[in-house]
Structures are given as structure tokens and as C-alpha cells.
Structure 1
Amino acid sequence: MSAIESSFNSRNLNPLDIYVLPGYTVEVFAQGLNSPVSMVFDEDGSILIGESGEVDGNARVMRLRNGSYEVIAEGFNVPLSGVNVLNKDKYVSHKGLITLLKEDGRRYNVISGLPSLGDFGNSQVEFSIDGKMYFGQGSATNSGVVGPDNSWTAFHPYFHDFPAEDIELVGQNFVSYNFFSYSPTDYAFTGAFRPFGTPNRPDYVVLGNLRPTSCIYRSELDGSNLEVYAWGVTQPYRVKFDRFNRMFATNLTYDVRGSRPIKDCPDEFLFINHGSWYGFPDFCGNLPVTLPQFRPDVGPQPEFLMSRHPMIPTKPFAIIEPHAGVRGFDFDYTQEFGTYGNAYVALSGSIYPVTTGGYPLPGVGRRIVRIDMNDGNVSTFAINRTGLGASFTGGGGFERPMDVVFGPDEAMYVLDYNMATPINPNLYIPNTGVIWKISRT
């Protein structure tokens, strides 16, 4: 398949602006996408692309085949988070739902009512050799407490985080401006795992929920027998099995925001064990958030919310710098591209200033990293020569890499988000999403 020739001129594209390790070349494969967040090769060799709808309001699934785009289906809940395919059936993950899309265009919501009304939603599904379907479900809040950073409370005032098992809380409450009140002197007291303005008492027990946040779910392909596979994962953006049928997940962790800000928690590449707890909301990796290194510049040292923890979380398989923005990933099972079995992860970068404590971090993330699956070592594989996102410099390279997949031609394909505007790093120019192709020379 050749690169698409396009008349889109609102984004400068120059593969030479991307540094890649010696022995590889970069080219523009396709462009003109809107908020692309996931891609997968269909059985016929075409590429299915999930567009979140966050730029133009139209969450949809596209097919790229023989140099042309075709809309497969649209009008999904915003944001759409992923699309995957199995035996010609397409499974679309979008806010609160997983929809089965048949070859003839019929749609069936195989899973509905997922707890995706908060900060983070349900992720792209993955299939295992046992014929099951797996996917991640993100947290409602940054770190367990609903606060002024959660704008969704205006529409869902009683929503909050839900644990998968019974937990006992310390009973700490957090004071913030009461944005439900008209009085500027009215304050609210909010406890962990509670709606905004609802305090906790000491030793309060929160019962486990059948539809918890911060977890990884498993079900049958038709959505039946939905169960929690693992929990305490803040935002499992993507789950995937390696050739040994081991599950791994990229996990976006805590930000410096809200009623309980946590600083410098690295993003994670997790090896997922069935039944394990991965630390939300009291651990960063396998380290307690009560350590001084996690104290924000403005605000108190985070304290434990839970009086007892299910277990000490295991150390992540790989650690990636804070605010790197771990997204989609793939394993290299080609014969020629690189070391067999290594993982490659797309890093989209920080969401400045709302998640970083106000600090611009233009040199964080915005690249493709390689993870050595023997020892967890992380190294940069492809990055803009400036080290910065393209919108910061006006360059022609990566903006926000969102996904990585290996194609049937054994080349790497990188899905890159829309270009941000010069005046606002979180406002995007329509029709500027890109697919890059990286090949072995």
C-alpha cells in the first residue's frame, strides 16, 4: 500500500525531522485524520482506524485501503477509545459501551453501563487464546477524590470511584470550594470513593462493586460473564497479550491536580496477573504515595486513603517518565525489524497545564520507546530531532503519537494525533492526524 497523496496543507510534514535509530527510514503513510487514537490491521490487510471524536464531535471508525478512506461506522459516544477486529467482527470501545459491528453494518451493544462518566473511560478490547475479551476501565478521578478538577460533576454529581473489593478507609476528608453553591464562601468536604460533598467517617467501609473503576475486565465475546480480572490500575489505556499469552498494559498514572495532587509518579508498563491489585489510589508502582518524592510543590504530602491494602503492588515491568503519556503498543514478532519480541510504546506527552501542576513539559513523551522484554529497559527508538512536539517548533515530525502496530509487511506504523494550535496546546487543528511508516532499510 502506498502513501496517500493529500491536499491537506495545515500541517507541515517532514519525515527528516524525526530521528530514528540507524538502519530505519521514516515516511508519511497517510494523513487527514481527526483525533485518531487506535488502529489495527484487518484480515484483508486494510487498516481500521478509531477516531475519538474529540476534535470534530464525530466518533467513528475508518478503513484505509488502497490509498483511500472509507467511513465504516460513525456516531459513537465521544470519546471513542479503540477498535479491534476478530473474524470480521469489529469491536468498538466508546464511552460506557462496547459495540459489536458486523460486516453488514448491524450494531449490537454487547456491554453497556460501564463506569466511564468520570475522567477516564473504557479502553480498546483485546482477545486471548481462550476466546475471551479483555479491556481496561479507567478511574473516575485523579487519585480517588472527586474535586474541582472534575468538570463532569456538573452532569453526574453522584458519580465517583468504585472499588472491586470491600475496602476500609482512613476517613480523611478534603476541603474544596463548593462549586454547586452560589456562595463564594461555601466549602465542601469530600471523602475518598464518595460523591462530591459527601464526607467519610473513620474506618468507613466501601463495598466492592460489580462495575468498578480502575480495573481490567474480562468477558465472553458476546459480553456475558463480565468479571474483574485485575484492579487498582489507574488508567489502563491499552491491554495486549504477548506470544506467551501474558497480559501487559500501559497505565497512565496520577497527575498534579485536584484535591489530592500527586507529583512525579511515572507512567507504567505493567505485567498483569489475574486477581492482583495494582495500587490505586495509594501506591505509585510499588511505592507508597506517602513518600516525600510524591509531594506536590503546592499542597500537603499525600496520605493513605485506605487503612488496609489488599497487597503490596508488584513493581511495574517497565517505568516511563512522569507525564510521558503511555498509549498504544505492540510487540515486534517480525523477522527483520528488530530484536524479536521487544515492545514498542507510543508516548503522547503531557497535557499541560492541567495535569502537570502548571509546568510546561514539551520535551516529555512525544516519541516511540522500545522496551526490552528481557529486562524491562526502556530506550528511545524514534523522536523528533528537537526533542519537542512539532507544534512547539513548527517542525514536520511527531505531534502526539497515540498507537503503534506492526503491519503484515513487517513495517512499523505510528498513529499520530492532530496538530495543536500555536496559542493553545490542547486545541487541535482539524484533519491533521497522520500515520507514519517506519521501515528497516
Structure 2
Amino acid sequence: MGKFLKILFCSVVVFIVAYSIRIYFYKGGNVPDLKLENKNLNYSVSYKGLKDAVDFTSDNIGNYYIAYPSKIQAIEKNGKSYNLIKKSNFDINSIDYKDGKLYYISKDKIYCYDIKNRSNKEFASGIPNYGDYNKSLIRINGNNIYVSIGAATNSGVVGKDNDWIKSQPYVCDITPNDITLKGINFGNNRTGAFQSYGTKSIKGQIVPEHFPGNSSIVVYDINGKQSSTFAWGIRNVTGMDFNENKLVCAIGGMENRGSRAVIGDTDYIYEIKKGLWYGWPDYSGGDPVTSPKFKGNNKSKLDFLLENHPSMNPPSPIYQHTKVSSLGAICADNSGDIDEKNCIFFYDKIDNLLYSFKYPKVQREQIKFDKNSKIKSIKIYNKRLLILDSSKGCIYSIVNRKNISTIKNLSQYNYIYIYLIVVTIFVIVLILKVKRD
């Protein structure tokens, strides 16, 4: 009897430890519970230990690749994890996968990492990632690599709100197409639009195009490396995805700061079409800055910076948010795996909320995050909405309850269930054996 009790006690301890591990991982451990506003959703934590990660991608066999500012980490489908590449002088912000290769952007260069050969090569360079919005996003669709390039300034004019003028005094916005200036100058030192700090502009001055330029989206062909400006006049892309092969982007509106402050703007979601000008710095959300919607310093009326506009009717957004400097990552649900088919999920970093939206409907609250969360990337793989929380260092896996039985790939923590079953069977067999003896 004493031997039986000892075995039973040890088995119970093992079971409790295993169950505790399961609870820790499945519920997120020290990661706070998510508040699911959409009751059709369920969540778990797929990966932990990813603090300060900035983006992620996956191949077609279930391996994941996590990008940090200075390294890229591989997590194989069996749970094995290791660094593919690590360089202290990197500043990686975005990553994507195509045909056995990882494409990522660091500072002013795009790199291609061949996973099989473990080789890293420079794919393109000269990206003007300087100034205020210097974190380009990279997304692949078909054989094309799309790269967002932010504006160097808030609204086209370098001013005292740009701290970088001390270390980069000659930086200004570079236009991807020829523009003609009205010659309006700002501040005590009379700085003109698309000019370095302290440099005046004159009426009729032509600023020549440069590729690649700021406030644009550029596209590179993976095979031939042909490149071109896809669209321009786009202030700052904070999220980018493809909805039925249509490029959709979250775009930050102009802020109330600098020599040409803009009051009254908000953030937007656009469907970006090839060859079009989207209005920045003289339009936002399809409206001219001269409209009553916007005000300048001391609530004054704003003037145009450009003499001639490529279009007097730039495209309007498919969604207008209620705040400025709020929208972050976005993701399109092309198959309706999580919510409505072709809806767009977007993250509000001020409210720490994930919304969904499908034109022309209003936005819907989906998930409320902890106040300290910092969502950097959201993507859909294998009918799961994966959400990278850089602050908590984890990837949440969101599923619609209707799809739970059809999702084949288990997360690494679902193996805890298998472990619990094995331990339970072991305990039962052990107890029966002792009783027989």
C-alpha cells in the first residue's frame, strides 16, 4: 500500500504540473487576457518570448520567421528556434516571404535572404528613409514587392518640430514626380516646401522628380528587378495588405505641429491604385487643405504649397477614422475566415482596439488589448488571425469558432493537450499495474 500511495502521489504531482503548464501557455501566462468583443472568436497564444519583435511572416509549410530590429529568428513547425541572421547595425522594420526567400527592409536597403543557402544579398538600395516617417513597410503580391516610403515631414515643410535637423540638416522631402511650388515660405528663417531647413522657395520653382521618392509606394519586380513608382502623394503608410489583389493601406493624416501645422485631420484607409496622386501635402482624405475642415496655426486658413496639382480631385478613402496618428497595422480577410469576407482588420494604437471594417458599413470592435500592448503586425495564415504584440512578446492566434475543427496545424502550445492525455493514461496504467501486483 505504501508503494501504491507513493506512485499515486508522484503521478498527481506530475499531472498538476502538466496542467499548470497548459494553463500558463494556453491562457498566456503573464500575458493578460484579451477582451473579445466579437463573441464568435476564440484565442490562444501561439508563440512567446518575442519581445521587441517588429514583424513576422510564414512559409507554406508552417515555419515562422520573426523580424527584430537587428535580427531575424526562425521558428520551425516542430518548435525549434534559432537566428538566421543578426547584425547590430540593422534597423529592420518589415519582412515578407516568397519562394524560399525572405525579403526585408533595413534603413535605406531591401535585402533578400535565401533560407536554403543561408545567403543574404542586397536587393535594392536608395530608399529615402530619413526624417519623421522612416519605417518602410514591405509586402509581396505575386512577383511584385511593394514598399511604402513615408514623408520626411508632417506637411511638406522642415521646421523646428523635426529634431533630426541637427544631425541631418540637408534632409527634406524628395518628390517622386516633378512639382511646381507656389513659393510660400515658413518660419523666421523662411523655409520653403520640399527644401532643406532654412532654404527659401520661389514662385514657379520646379522641383525635379527622383526615384525612389518620399510619400510614395514603389514596386519592384522580384525576377527582373524592374522598379517604378506605384502611387504617390501618400503621407505615411502605417499598415499595408492586399484585398483580392487590391492594395489597401492605412495612412496617417497631418498633425497639429510644425511651421505648417494642420488642425482637423484624421487617419484613413485607402485602396491604392496604380499611377494616381493621393494629394499630400495639399489634400488629405480627398479634401483640399483650403477647405473649412482644416485650420493652420492660430486657426488660420491654410494655403496650397503646389502651384499646379496633378489632379484637382484626388481619390477619397474607403474609410475615415475619428482620430489622427492612431491607425497601425491592417490585414484583409479575403476568405472570410475570421469575420466578413473581404473585411479589413485594423489596429487603433490609441484605444488599443482591433476593429474590422467593410465598405460601406461602419467599423466594428473586435478585440480590446491590454493598455500596455503594442501591436506591430497582424496577418492571416491557415484560417488564423495572428497578432504580434511587441510589448508582451507574443503572437496571439485568433480563430472563428466555426473553423476550430477544420484548422489542422496545431500551435506549439496545443501539444500540451496531448501531453496531458499521455500523462493521464500513464497514471491509470500505473495504478492498475500496482493493484495487480
TM-score under structure 1 length normalisation: 0.78
Matching residue of 2:138: 125
Matching residue of 2:85: 73
Matching residue of 1:62: 73
Q: Which amino acid aligns with 2:227?
A: L
How many angstroms apart in 2 are the aligned matches of 1:260 and 1:223? Answer: 41
How many angstroms apart in 2 are the aligned matches of 1:269 and 1:143? Answer: 19
How many angstroms apart in 1 are the aligned matches of 2:219 and 2:338? Answer: 32
**What is the 5 A alignment of 1:22-421?**
22-51=39-68, 53=69, 59-65=70-76, 66-67=78-79, 69-75=81-87, 79-103=91-115, 104-121=117-134, 123-129=136-142, 131-175=143-187, 187-221=188-222, 224-243=225-244, 245-295=245-295, 298=298, 300-311=300-311, 312-323=313-324, 325-334=326-335, 336-349=337-350, 363=351, 366-372=352-358, 374-375=359-360, 377-384=362-369, 390-391=371-372, 399-408=373-382, 410-418=383-391
How many angstroms apart in 2 are the aligned matches of 1:105 and 1:264? Answer: 49
**1:166, CA displacement in angstroms?**
1.5
Structure 2, unmatched stretches of 5+, are: 1-20, 402-437
How many angstroms apart in 2 are the aligned matches of 1:256 and 1:78? Answer: 32
How many angstroms apart in 2 are the aligned matches of 1:174 and 1:271? Answer: 33
How many angstroms apart in 2 are the aligned matches of 1:254 and 1:69? Answer: 41
Contact preservation (8 Å) 2:181, 2:205: yes
How many angstroms apart in 1 are the aligned matches of 2:318 and 2:120? Answer: 37
SS in 1 for 2:73: strand
Contact preservation (8 Å) 2:177, 2:210: yes
Q: Tell me the percent identity.
A: 23
SS in 2 for 1:202: coil
**1:237, CA displacement in angstroms?**
3.0
Cα distance per residue 1:325-364 (max 9 Å; x no partner): 3233222244653222212122323xxxxxxxxxxxxx4x
Contact preservation (8 Å) 2:376, 2:390: yes
Matching residue of 1:352: none
Q: Which moved more, 1:147-156 or 1:329-338?
A: 329-338
**1:154, CA displacement in angstroms?**
2.3
How many angstroms apart in 1 are the aligned matches of 2:228 and 2:254? Answer: 25
Contact preservation (8 Å) 2:71, 2:90: no
How many matched pairs? 376
Structure 1, unmatched stretches of 5+, are: 54-58, 176-186, 350-362, 392-398, 419-431
**1:276, CA displacement in angstroms?**
0.3
Contact preservation (8 Å) 2:255, 2:325: no
Q: 1:78 to 1:289 in 2, by over 3 A?
A: farther
Contact preservation (8 Å) 2:260, 2:296: no
Q: Which moved more, 1:23-32 or 1:313-322?
A: 23-32
Q: 1:334 to 1:201 in 2, by over 3 A?
A: closer
**1:383, CA displacement in angstroms?**
1.7
How many angstroms apart in 2 are the aligned matches of 1:309 and 1:47? Answer: 44
- Measured on the aligned residues, the alpha-carbon RMSD in Å equals 2.5
Q: In the alignment, does 2:37 pair up with 1:20?
A: yes
Contact preservation (8 Å) 1:32, 1:433: yes
Cα distance per residue 1:90-116 (max 9 Å; x no partner): 001121110001113211111111111
Q: Which amino acid aligns with 2:399?
A: S
**1:223, CA displacement in angstroms?**
7.3
Larger C-alpha radius of gyration, 1 or 2? 2
How many angstroms apart in 1 are the aligned matches of 2:273 and 2:229? Answer: 12
SS in 2 for 1:153: helix
Matching residue of 2:430: none
Matching residue of 1:436: 396
Q: Which amino acid aligns with 1:188?
A: N
Contact preservation (8 Å) 2:337, 2:384: no
Cα distance per residue 1:185-217 (max 9 Å; x no partner): xx4221000000101112222112222100010
How many angstroms apart in 2 are the aligned matches of 1:367 and 1:310? Answer: 36
